[in-house]
Chain A
C-alpha cells in the first residue's frame, strides 16, 4: 500500500518511525506499506519506489525542511503532491486549526477528489465540518478514518463504532486532554496553584508554549464534537459546546473536594443531546479518576451498559499507533 504523509512535524515523524519499525511485521501480515511522498511547508520528498524513512527523519531534524531530502526533495506544494503522486492513502497530520480547519480541510477534500483514502489526526476540519467531509468521502467512494483525532492512542472511535456495534450509545463522558489532567493532578498532589503547575507542565514539554486551547477547554470541546458526530450521529460544531476551562481552579478547591471523597477533573460530556466541557467533581473511586497525562472515556450503552477505556492521549508514537490501525483497516477493507 502506498502512502503520502502530509505534514512532517512530531506526529508525521512519529508515523514515519512506526512504519519503519513495523516494516517486517506489516510485510509479513499484510503487504509492504511504502511511503511514496512526505510533505511539509517547505516542499516535499517524492519517490514512487518508497522513501528511506530514516533518512527523511534525519533530514527534517537536521535542516527543518523535507525539501532537502537528497535528490528526491523539491519545492512543491502539498496540494500538488496530493494531485500528482500516485498513492492509495493520504495521512493528513498538519497542525490543527480550530478556527478554519485549514490547510487540512483542503488537503482532505483534494485527496478524496483524487480517489485517495484519508487517515487524519487533525481535529480542526472534523470539529468544524464533519458532515461535509463524510459526504464528500462517500461521493468519491473513499475511506475516511480519524481514530487519532480523539484521545491519541486510546481506541475510542473505532471501539464505539466497531467493537460496540449494535449498541446504542446513550452518553459519553471523559477526560480527553492530558495537559489539563496533568496540571490538576499536580495541583492536587502537591498543593500547587494553577500558574505554578502550568509553568512546570510547560518546562516538561507537557503543555505547549501557548496552552490556551488546552486550559480553556477548547481542545476537549473539539474532541467532544468529533465524538458526537462520528459515534452518535449528531451534526454539531464547536460552537454548539458549552465550555469552561480550569484556570480558576484553586488548590483549596481540590483540598475541599478531597475531604468529601472527590477530585476535580476537566470533563467533556455528551448527554441528552448536549455537549458540555467543564471542571467537575469526580468521586475518587470512579474509573474516570485517572492521573497524570492519561485520558479516559466512559460510554453508557443500552446493551453493554458502562464501558471504560483508558490510554495515552498524546505523544507522537502513541498517536501513530492509532494512525497505523486506521491504515491497516483501509488495507483490509480494500485489498482483500
Chain B
C-alpha cells in the first residue's frame, strides 16, 4: 500500500479527475481523505491510499496525477514537492517579468508573487513562492544565476 498526499484546487470535479487515472492503471483505491478544513491558498490537501503492485505502475499513476493538475506533496510520508521562497531585487518588471516566471515555471511553479516598485528609476523588490520537486532545486539555482547575469537581478534564496 502506498500513501500519496496531494493538493487539489478547490473546484467541483477535481477529486474525480485524479481518481480516474488510478483505476485506469489497475490500482485499487483503499481510502481517500479529503481535508477541506485545512484548505490553504485555495488548495485542499487530499490523502489517497492505493494498492499498487509494481513501481512502473506507480510512476505512471503519479505522472497522470500531475497531468490532471494535482500537486504531489508526499509519497509514503516523504516530501516530494518543496516550497522555496525567493526575494528578487532589480528591475524585475522592466526585464520582462512574464519571461522570468515562464522560465521558472519550466522547472517549478511560481505560486505567488508580491511586488513593490518604490519608484520607476529605483530597483523593485519582489517575493516569490516557488513550488518545486526537491531534486530539481539545483537546476532552479542554476537558472537563477543565468537570470542574474542576463537581467541584472539578484535572487535571495531561503535557507532550508
* A interface residue numbers (CB < 8 A to B): 173, 244, 248-250, 252-253, 255-257, 259-260, 262, 264, 267, 278-283, 286, 288
7 shortest A-B CB distances, which residue pairs?
Answer: A252-B125, A256-B127, A281-B158, A253-B125, A252-B116, A253-B87, A250-B125
**Are A259 and B114 also in contact (CB < 8 A) when A249-B89, A250-B123 are?**
yes
**A245 nearest in chain B by CB position:** B154
Contact of B89 among A250, A260, A280 (CB under 8 A): A250
Q: How far is the CA of A257 from the CA of B89 in the complex (A)?
A: 12
Q: Cβ of B118 < 8 Å from any Cβ of A?
A: yes
**A247 nearest in chain B by CB position:** B154
Judge whether B123 and A283 touch: CB under 8 Å.
Answer: no
Judge whether B127 and A279 touch: CB under 8 Å.
Answer: no
Q: Cβ of B57 < 8 Å from any Cβ of A?
A: no
**B87 nearest in chain A by CB position:** A253
Judge whether A280 and B159 touch: CB under 8 Å.
Answer: yes
Q: For B89, list chain A residues within 8 Å (CB).
A: 248-250, 253
Q: For A255, list chain B residues within 8 Å (CB).
A: 116, 125
Q: For B125, list chain A residues within 8 Å (CB).
A: 250, 252-253, 255-256
**Are A256 and B159 also in contact (CB < 8 A) when A249-B89, A262-B85, A281-B85 are?**
no
- Complex interface residues of chain B between 124 and 154 (CB less than 8 A to chain A): 124-127, 129, 154
**Are A257 and B127 also in contact (CB < 8 A) when A244-B154, A248-B154 are?**
yes
Q: Cβ of B1 < 8 Å from any Cβ of A?
A: no
Q: For A288, list chain B residues within 8 Å (CB).
A: 159
Judge whether B85 and A260 touch: CB under 8 Å.
Answer: yes
Contact of B124 among A173, A249, A252, A280 (CB under 8 A): A252
Q: How far is the CA of A255 from the CA of B89 in the complex (A)?
A: 12
B99 to chain A, nearest CB (A): 21
In the complex, besides A244-B154, A252-B118, 5 extra interface pairs with C-beta distance below 8 angstroms are: A250-B125, A255-B116, A256-B114, A256-B125, A264-B156
Judge whether B87 and A281 touch: CB under 8 Å.
Answer: yes
Q: How far is the CA of A280 from the CA of B160 in the complex (A)?
A: 10
Q: How far is the CA of A281 from the CA of B114 in the complex (A)?
A: 15
- Looking at B118, B123, B124, B127, the one whose CB has the most chain A CB atoms below 10 A away is B127
Judge whether A280 and B85 touch: CB under 8 Å.
Answer: no
Judge whether B159 and A267 touch: CB under 8 Å.
Answer: yes
Q: For A278, list chain B residues within 8 Å (CB).
A: 156
Judge whether B87 and A283 touch: CB under 8 Å.
Answer: no
Q: For A253, list chain B residues within 8 Å (CB).
A: 87, 89, 125, 156
Q: For B36, list chain A residues within 8 Å (CB).
A: none
Q: For B87, list chain A residues within 8 Å (CB).
A: 253, 256-257, 264, 281
- Looking at A173, A259, A267, A279, the one whose CB has the most chain B CB atoms below 10 A away is A279
Q: For B114, list chain A residues within 8 Å (CB).
A: 256, 259-260
Judge whether B123 and A259 touch: CB under 8 Å.
Answer: no
Q: Cβ of B157 < 8 Å from any Cβ of A?
A: yes
Interface string of B109-128 (1 = CB under 8 A from A): 00000101010000111110
A289 to chain B, nearest CB (A): 10
- Complex interface residues of chain B between 64 and 103 (CB less than 8 A to chain A): 85-87, 89-90
Q: For A267, list chain B residues within 8 Å (CB).
A: 159
Q: How far is the CA of A259 from the CA of B127 in the complex (A)?
A: 10
Q: How far is the CA of A250 from the CA of B126 in the complex (A)?
A: 11
Contact of B123 among A244, A248, A260 (CB under 8 A): A248
